Amino acid sequence: MGRFYITTPIYYVNDAPHVGHAYCTVNADSLARWHRLVGDETKFLTGTDEHGQKVADAAAKNEMSPQAWTDQTSARFREAWDALGISYDDFIRTTEPRHYESVQKFLSTIHDNGYIYKDTYKGLYCVSCEDYFTIESSVDGRCPIHGRALIEMEEENWFFKLSAFEDRLISYYEEHPGFVTPETKRNEALSFIKGGLRDISITRTSISWGVPVPWDANHVFYVWYDALINYLTGIGYGRNDEEVVRWWPSSHHLIGKEIIRFHCVWWPAMCMAAGLEPPSHVQVHGWLLVGGQKLSKTMAAEGAVRLTDISPVVLTSEYGVDPIRYYLLRETSLGNDGEFSLEGITQRYNTDLANNLGNLVARVTTIVATKCDGIGPVPRSDSSLRPLAEEALVNAAGAWERFSPQSALEATWGLIGATNAYLEQHAPWKMEPGDALQGVIGDALEAIRLVAVLASPAMPEVCREIWRRIGLSGSPDAELFESSAVWGRYRGSTSIVRGAPLFPRIASDQ
Ligand code: MSP
């Protein structure tokens, strides 16, 4: 048993949460739940990124003060995560005093270490990215990501000597091959570093909506520079050093592919400059696309996609929490882009949930009610289902450990398929009550129990209900994986609950 500290990016509060944000948060949540299940001491941090030009502009547009606007929008993220059953341990807001304290401490240390200096900066700025571009990296003077016109800005700024870390970063990557996964993204980050690093401007005088620079009252920190430090604020940096020592070596950042440069180049260099080890791992994910386009708020505003149609809260109220969680985790492997569609949700729901899982539970509980006096029989130790269940346990556990919820669910659904095939083969609905029938049904109940354990990080509510239906008390995540994920632990002898369908089918034209 170890320790596991997982973070999501902190979300900009210029607009409401959408399903792209939910994708990242649900993945992080399932991983946190897996690690709790195996007994790791776990901390899961998410939150909101509340400074910067983009948020200040959104507040002005809505005729609100930045603070009132961020209070309101940050609350919408919490509401979305509550609707999705997100089990975060801490929710950080970058406007909190604890964050100011950590940022000022961290950056004063880098300043004292000699990695910060003053200079004049001139460049092309994209407010949506909160980032500068060179004319070469722009597309005809427009942002390559958002397509909006870049603004020419000139400021006297404080700079971070990123260029001083080129060699150290390359060595770090070589010594820590698993620092960034998947490997394609690691190579992308590494080739960016090898291409040469320029110092970065880390403060602003053009806006006041930011964390004040402790050594220069006219400046606030640039939003990205303050935001990255949230990962340390969450474990008490500058306030409780013991906590930092405890959690930092087990840190895992889950991030989208467009913010690789910040997390895989700037952030490890910033940590080195402050005398800290870089985070232990960055897992990069792709984008959910609608009709081939990223669900970006800017594009939505331009009418390319209607994000209001795909708010996480609306989705969960239409399809249920766990079906949406399942869809987000199962449809796309972490690292690749995936297509999001309502048709896709319906298809996954009807096939994997209603036909495979729901039907399995319904069949077995019905036979127990009609042919076993409502009491669950015990599994057999020599069942032909056992090796298949054991293989699924090994494969799913391995996939969860490798940050691959999609493969973990694939292995789990393999066991569901095998159990349905086992029932087809033995046709217990045609058998007379007796030992043979009891054996087949006991085996199926045991397989269902193991499925509930394996799927619990993805679908906690449904798995709890399955647990109850097969006559068990507590929940599949209340016991450690090591002791529950063993064939033969189902003891039978308790009353089975024959409930309403777990997943009533959805008409496919919905
Ligand atoms: N505030 C910064 C992150 C700072 S972390 C120190 C930011 N915020 S964001 O709200 O724009 O994006 C947050 C995360 O949401 C990113 O990882 C991004 O990839 C993810 N997603 C936003 N739209 C997405 C999709 N359409 N699909 C999947 N994830 C996407 O960047």
Please tell me the distance between residue 90's alpha carbon and the centre of ligand 1 in angstroms. 18
Q: Is residue 270 in contact with ligand 1, taking CB distance under 6 Å? A: no
Name every residue whose Cβ is closer than 8 Å to that of residue 150 and which is 6 or more positions away in sequence.
124, 125, 126, 133, 138, 141, 142, 143
Name every residue whose Cβ is closer than 8 Å to that of residue 149 and which is 6 or more positions away in sequence.
141, 142, 143
Contact (CB, 8 A) for 124 and 138:
yes
Kindly list the catalytic residues: 18, 21, 126, 129, 143, 146, 294, 297
Q: What are phi and psi of 416, to 5 degrees?
A: -60, -45
Instruction: Let me know if 493 is exposed, middle or buried by CB neighbors in 10 A (0-12, 13-18, 19+).
Output: exposed
493: left (phi over 0), alpha (psi -120 to 50) or beta: left
Strand partners, 160: 116, 200
What is the pairing mode between strands 200-201 and 180-181?
unpaired
* d(C-alpha 399, C-alpha 417), whole Å: 18
Q: What domains, with CATH codes, occur in the chain?
A: 3-285 (3.40.50.620), 342-484 (1.10.730.10)
Q: Which of 12, 145, 222 to mutate to test the pocket of ligand 1 (most atoms within 8 A of CB)?
A: 12
What is residue 359's predicted lDDT score, i.e. its pLDDT? 97
Low-confidence ranges of the chain (pLDDT < 70): 291-309, 508-510
- Structure-block tokens of residue 450: 């193991």
* Nearest ligand 1 atom, CA 11: 10
Largest CA distance in the chain: 86
* d(C-alpha 272, C-alpha 165), whole Å: 8
pTM of the model: 0.93
Per-residue pLDDT of 316-354, as tens digits, reads 999 999 999 999 999 999 999 998 888 899 999 999 999
Q: Is residue 77 in contact with ligand 1, taking CB distance under 6 Å? A: no
CA angle 306–311–315, rounded 5-degree value: 115
What is residue 41's predicted lDDT score, i.e. its pLDDT? 98
* d(C-alpha 199, C-alpha 163), whole Å: 5
Instruction: Let me know if 174 is exposed, middle or buried by CB neighbors in 10 A (0-12, 13-18, 19+).
Output: exposed
Rg from Cα positions in the chain = 26
* d(C-alpha 238, C-alpha 257), whole Å: 30
What Cα–Cα distance (Å) separates residue 483 from each residue in 270, 383, 397, 456? Answer: 42, 20, 14, 15
Q: Is residue 244 in contact with ligand 1, taking CB distance under 6 Å? A: no
Residue located nearest, by CA, to atom 24 of ligand 1: 20
Taking the CA atoms of 48, 51, 52 and 53 in sequence, report the sign of the dihedral they define.
Answer: positive
Residue located nearest, by CA, to atom 12 of ligand 1: 11
Strand partners, 321: none
What DSSP string describes 405-432? HHHHHHHHHHHHHHHHHHHHHH-GGGSP
Q: Is residue 372 in contact with ligand 1, taking CB distance under 6 Å? A: no
* d(C-alpha 480, C-alpha 120), whole Å: 57
* d(C-alpha 181, C-alpha 88), whole Å: 23
Q: Is residue 52 in contact with ligand 1, taking CB distance under 6 Å? A: no
